[in-house]
Structure formats: C-alpha cells, structure tokens
C-alpha cells in the first residue's frame, strides 16, 4: 500500500504510482495555462479531478468549464489544455493509466512504464 497527504504547492508534481497507474497534483495560479494545442499523452489516459478553483479544459477543441468537483476523462492521444480562469488557485488531482511521467515529472514516451 502507498499513501500520501497531498499538499498543493505551485506547479505539477508526481505523488504516487506503480507500473500500472500514477497520481499527480497540479496547481495553477490565476491566468496560468498548462498544455496547449500540441499537448497530448500518447500512451496514457488521464482523469482530471478539480479539488478547488475554477477554469476551463479544452480537449480536442471542446471546452469544459471546471469547478470544484468536476471530473474530466481525457483519452490517450487527445490534445488538451487546462486554464485557470478564476481568481484563486486551480488545484487538480490527475490519474494516468498507465503512468505518463517519470517521478521527476518528465513525460514518458508512449508505452514506456
């Protein structure tokens, strides 16, 4: 068993995982954007859960409003961007299946655990 108490600092951080799945946390300040038109995970599905704050997810050109409690499923290969459009920090918990990042936060090539 693994466990961790999450402390949402600024940025993106891998928090737990194994060879089959991975949890990360992300905090964006107001006006900050993560991802973009070329951002996609070729080898992993992503579940993004909004812990607090508000913003917008743009997935394959489709906009989804984000607020506390929103869950978004981003399939492997879908281009996506997350924007903090609110006045407070946007905090998300992200689950990747299989893992998408090294423990240091570098993106893994598709199919490389």
CB 32 within 8 A of CB 57: no
| Residue 31: DSSP 8-state | T
pLDDT at 109: 80
Rounded to an integer, what distance in angstroms lies between the CA atom of residue 89 and that of residue 49? 14
Is 88 within the bounds of a domain?
Answer: yes
Task: Give Cα 40 to chain centroid, integer Å.
Answer: 11
pLDDT at 112: 57
Is 2 within the bounds of a domain?
Answer: no
Sign (positive/negative) of CA torsion 92, 98, 99, 100? negative
Give the CA radius of gyration of the chain: 13
pLDDT at 111: 56
Q: Please count the structural domains in the chain.
A: 1
Is 111 within the bounds of a domain?
Answer: no
Is 72 within the bounds of a domain?
Answer: yes
Q: What is the pLDDT of residues 7-64, one digit of tens each?
A: 999 999 999 999 999 999 999 999 999 998 889 998 999 999 999 999 999 999 999 9
Question: Quick check: pTM over 0.85?
Answer: yes
Is 105 within the bounds of a domain?
Answer: no
The closest of 8, 85, 99, 3 to 47, measured between CA atoms, is: 99
Average pLDDT over residues 65-78: 97
pLDDT at 113: 55
Is 80 within the bounds of a domain?
Answer: yes
Of the chain, the percentage scoring pLDDT greater than 90 comes to 86
CB 110 within 8 A of CB 43: yes
> Which of 10-14, 26-30, 94-98, 102-106 is least confident?
102-106
* Structural domain range at position 30: 11-97
Rounded to an integer, what distance in angstroms lies between the CA atom of residue 62 and that of residue 96? 21
What CATH number is associated with residue 36?
2.60.120.10
């Amino acid at each position: 068993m693994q466990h961790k108490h999450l402390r949402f600092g600024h940025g993106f951080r891998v928090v737990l995982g194994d060879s089959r799945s991975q949890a990360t946390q992300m905090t964006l300040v107001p006006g900050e954007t993560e991802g973009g038109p070329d951002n996609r995970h070729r080898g992993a599905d992503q579940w993004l859960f909004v812990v607090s704050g508000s913003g917008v997810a743009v997935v394959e050109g489709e906009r989804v409003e984000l607020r506390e409690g929103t869950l978004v499923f981003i399939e492997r290969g879908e281009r996506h961007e997350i924007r903090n459009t609110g006045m407070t920090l946007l905090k998300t918990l992200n689950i990747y299946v299989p893992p998408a990042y090294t423990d240091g936060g570098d993106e893994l090539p598709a199919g490389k655990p």
